[in-house]
Chains A and B, each alone.
Chain A
Amino acid sequence: MAITTDIQVEELLEKYPQVVGYFIAHKLSPFSCAGAYPKTLGEMLAARQVQDIDGFVKGLNELISAP
């Protein structure tokens, strides 16, 4: 499954718990004591003012595709 900006962060982390390291490397924390960020990936990246959203999502897809 390809990750898109429409996926809920909650769903993303449930399916691919390993991607949290990718977020931290990009200075983003998708999970906290409140749980997973309660919006879509796109909404989270926009709220955190990530400039290259497409690049971020592309990197995520490469990460989950890696053997």
Chain B
Amino acid sequence: MKSQIDKSYKLYIDGKWVDGSEGKTFDAYCPADGELLATCVNASQKDVDAAVSAAWKAFESWKNVSAQQRAAYLLKIADLIDANAEKLAMVETLDNGKPIRETRNIDIPLASDHFRYFAGAVRTQEGQAAMIDNDTMSIILREPIGVVGQIIPWNFPFLMAAWKIAPALAAGNTVVIKPSSTTSLSLLELAKILDQALPPGVVNVVTGKGSTTGNYVLQHPGFTKLAFTGSTDVGYNIADAAAKKLIPATLELGGKSANIYFADCPWEKAIEGTQIGILFNQGQVCCAGSRVFVQESIYDKFVADMAAAFRKVKVGLPWKEDTMMGCQINEVELNKILAYVEVGKQEGAKLVTGGRKITEGELGKGSFMEPTLFADVDNKMRIAQEEIFGPVVCVIKFKDEQDVIKMANDSEYGLGGAVWTRDINRALRVARGVETGRMWVNTYNQLPAHAPFGGYKKSGIGRETHKMMLEHYSQAKNIFISMTEDKAGLY
């Protein structure tokens, strides 16, 4: 199983696998058992320079590749991902700790679909033309921005790489991308695929620590756009770096999303929806349904059924087929979640189930956490306002629509959310009323390529997924034409 991972990985720059210029490395460990998986390069400033130079050199030809040809490249990448899906799923599971059923059925297939979606979307792109007056025509075209610096998080490394790379390439840009040092391996495996599919330098992968390589990427003057998925705290640094260079930045940041249940919700589906909302990927999801609002008339039974459902969840080694929830990304993250559990208890929330690190048996070596449910939470409590980023849900009682919309909006974030009801009018009113970039109705955590995803308020700037990303990764060129031989007559 672990033999599918190379013992060491190099940097992927200009279509070649190269050593780091300073010889510095870091180790990648499996969070489920602590075993060493691989050694990766901690890229230096010089390495990032080389990657940016390679990307600019490649841009000179890539920007002129036709949309038809770019689509063909993306389709080839998708086909190669599918052909290697089983290996990629296992690498992601070993490096990240998420269950194999998720990587096999969600992360990897959604990633290949993302490349296919943008292969199609770029073929539909058309400019605009307008007659300003009878002698004057205006043509609007989209042109690529240049070289994009992309930084992706550890919670969905492979899928977030696809979210970032596919639209950037489709729009005619070239890329330097850096994974989190916590989970670099699946992107390095993707680089092997890109190496088979793309001309040299179109995508360059630099690995390394955030405090070194990450900052080199942020500060590098060679980028003409930055794209980042991660926390709001770090998002400020990205926005600051982009502002200093006067370049655009797409930011997909944190959340504390409201998952709202009315008395007429479809019960069994609704209970499962709370699990999908907070237990998927061990709750390490920026749009996790971490605040569950339940109407007062069904509150007691709903909490009881939720708790029973949470207790049935099989937490296990992530590579086992029957595992529903794997392990947290590392000991630090687990300690953070456990600290929030203590905060919740001190604040007076009722710990109904979970709240403990699993120390028994084969899970004892990893960072495994019980699915955790706090009830009787006040929306003002820290556990309801701060992003815990683990399998910890806060259940909050509400009276009516106005009450729940007000509480849902009492958050600095606005990324995801859901409303569960059989009343379509109410569903639409609540979906419109909650200040968030994505509201699901009677479902949760579905993230297809075809729907835009991103945040209001401190959850980000710009969107990911959907063909509108082609606008994020391009700039408008206006060609303004005078079609008359006549002078203007001013001079």
- Flag whether B36 is at the interface (Cβ < 8 A): no
Q: How far is the CB of A28 from chain B (nearest CB, A)?
A: 9
Closest B residue to A11 using CB positions: B211
Q: Is A34 a contact partner of B180 (Cβ separation < 8 A)? A: yes
Closest A residue to B284 using CB positions: A33
Q: Is A24 a contact partner of B236 (Cβ separation < 8 A)? A: no
Known contacts being A17-B332, A20-B332, A29-B387, is A36 close to B339, with CB within 8 Å? no
Q: How far is the CB of A54 from chain B (nearest CB, A)?
A: 22
**B336 / chain A contacts, CB cutoff of 8 Å:** 20-21, 23-24, 29, 31
- Flag whether B319 is at the interface (Cβ < 8 A): no
Binds A, one of B86-94, B136-144, B226-234, B448-456: B226-234
**A33 / chain B contacts, CB cutoff of 8 Å:** 153-155, 180, 229-231, 254, 284, 286, 389
- Flag whether B125 is at the interface (Cβ < 8 A): no
How many of B's residues come within 8 Å of A, CB to CB? 38
Q: Is A9 a contact partner of B339 (Cβ separation < 8 A)? A: no
Q: Is B211 a contact partner of A24 (Cβ separation < 8 A)? A: no
Q: Once the chains are docked, how many angstroms separate the CA of A36 from the CA of B214?
A: 11
Residues 35-58 of chain A: 1 if any B CB is under 8 Å from the residue's CB, otherwise 0?
111110000000110000000000
Q: Once the chains are docked, how many angstroms separate the CA of A27 from the CA of B332?
A: 16
Q: Is A34 a contact partner of B230 (Cβ separation < 8 A)? A: yes
How many A-B contacts if CB must be within 8 Å? 92
**B151 / chain A contacts, CB cutoff of 8 Å:** 34
A11, A21, A34, A37 interface centre (most CB from chain B within 10 Å): A34
- Flag whether A32 is at the interface (Cβ < 8 A): yes
- Which of A17, A23, A32, A47 makes the CB contact (< 8 A) with B231? A32
Q: Once the chains are docked, how many angstroms separate the CA of A24 from the CA of B233?
A: 14
Q: Is B343 a contact partner of A38 (Cβ separation < 8 A)? A: no
- Flag whether B296 is at the interface (Cβ < 8 A): no
Interface residues of A toward B: which range?
20 to 34
Known contacts being A31-B332, A47-B236, is A9 close to B211, with CB within 8 Å? yes
Q: How far is the CB of A20 from chain B (nearest CB, A)?
A: 5
Q: Is B233 a contact partner of A35 (Cβ separation < 8 A)? A: no
- Flag whether B474 is at the interface (Cβ < 8 A): no
Q: Once the chains are docked, how many angstroms separate the CA of A22 from the CA of B452?
A: 37
- Which of B181, B254, B286, B387 makes the CB contact (< 8 A) with A35? B181
Q: Is B237 a contact partner of A39 (Cβ separation < 8 A)? A: yes
Which B residues between 145 and 187 are near A, CB-CB below 8 angstroms? Answer: 151, 153-155, 180-182
Residues 223-245 of chain B: 1 if any A CB is under 8 Å from the residue's CB, otherwise 0?
00000111101101100000000
Known contacts being A17-B332, A35-B182, is A10 close to B209, with CB within 8 Å? yes
Closest A residue to B342 using CB positions: A21
- Flag whether A66 is at the interface (Cβ < 8 A): no
- Flag whether A13 is at the interface (Cβ < 8 A): yes
**A37 / chain B contacts, CB cutoff of 8 Å:** 233-234
**A29 / chain B contacts, CB cutoff of 8 Å:** 231, 233, 336, 386-387
Known contacts being A32-B231, A33-B153, is A10 close to B210, with CB within 8 Å? yes
**A9 / chain B contacts, CB cutoff of 8 Å:** 211
Q: Once the chains are docked, how many angstroms separate the CA of A13 from the CA of B329?
A: 14
- Flag whether A25 is at the interface (Cβ < 8 A): yes
Q: How far is the CB of A42 from chain B (nearest CB, A)?
A: 13
Known contacts being A29-B231, A47-B236, is A39 close to B333, with CB within 8 Å? no
Closest B residue to A22 using CB positions: B339
Q: Is B230 a contact partner of A13 (Cβ separation < 8 A)? A: no
- Flag whether B276 is at the interface (Cβ < 8 A): no
Q: How far is the CB of A38 from chain B (nearest CB, A)?
A: 3
Q: How far is the CB of B396 from chain A (nearest CB, A)?
A: 20
Q: Once the chains are docked, how many angstroms separate the CA of A45 from the CA of B386?
A: 18
- Flag whether B280 is at the interface (Cβ < 8 A): no
- Flag whether B215 is at the interface (Cβ < 8 A): yes
Known contacts being A24-B340, A31-B333, is A36 close to B210, with CB within 8 Å? yes
Q: Is A38 a contact partner of B234 (Cβ separation < 8 A)? A: yes
Closest B residue to A16 using CB positions: B332
- Flag whether B382 is at the interface (Cβ < 8 A): yes
- Which of A11, A20, A34, A36 makes the CB contact (< 8 A) with B335? A20
Closest A residue to B181 using CB positions: A35
**A39 / chain B contacts, CB cutoff of 8 Å:** 211, 215, 237
Q: Once the chains are docked, how many angstroms separate the CA of A20 from the CA of B343?
A: 13
A sample of 16 more A-B contacts (CB under 8 A), given A20-B332, A29-B231, A32-B234, is: A10-B209, A13-B332, A17-B331, A17-B332, A21-B339, A27-B382, A33-B154, A33-B155, A33-B180, A33-B229, A33-B286, A34-B153, A35-B210, A35-B214, A47-B233, A47-B236
Task: Jot down 24 A-B pairs with beta carbons below 8 A, ordered by A.
Answer: A8-B211, A17-B330, A21-B335, A24-B339, A29-B233, A29-B386, A29-B387, A32-B231, A32-B233, A32-B234, A32-B254, A33-B154, A33-B155, A33-B180, A33-B230, A34-B151, A34-B180, A36-B211, A36-B332, A37-B233, A38-B215, A39-B211, A39-B215, A47-B233
Sorted nearest first, the 3 A-B pairs with minimum C-beta distance are A34-B230, A32-B231, A38-B210
